Amino acid sequence: MIKITDRVRKIMSEDPKTRNSDLFLILQTLKSMGLKIEIDYNQLKEIPSFETITRCRRHIQNTEKVLLPTIKEVALKRRIKESEFREYYGRF
């Protein structure tokens, strides 16, 4: 997590536009990791935020208890990741 924090801090310091749009910041972060992302900046307003998409997935799976992961390891990895996140950032 610290590595991503450092990467995001660097991107935000170098590109002020990333301070105004989480989606643009996400795309720039992915690009900085060597991933090929080709989206026109003007198209960003048409793309839902990654957080919205993952929150919807979590709601469907955790609250509605449907459309659960088809691979057992995915659920385990998510629990581990959540535990690591809570340990690093503390409970909210």
Distance CA 68, CA 80 (A): 17
Per the listing, tokens 């990791």 go with 33
Exposed e or buried b for every residue in 73-91, given b needs 16+ CB within 10 A? eeeeeeeeeeeeeeeeeee
Residue with tokens 């997935």: 57
Q: Kindly report the pTM of this predicted structure.
A: 0.61
CB 30 within 8 A of CB 22: no
Q: Are 24 and 41 in contact (CB under 8 A)?
A: yes
d(CA 52, CA 22): 11
- Amino acid 20: pLDDT: 85
Mean pLDDT over 79-91 rounds to 84
Residue 1 reports pLDDT greater than 60: no
**pLDDT tens digits along 24-83:** 888 899 999 999 888 887 887 888 888 888 889 889 988 998 988 888 898 899 889 888
Token couple for 76: 């385990």
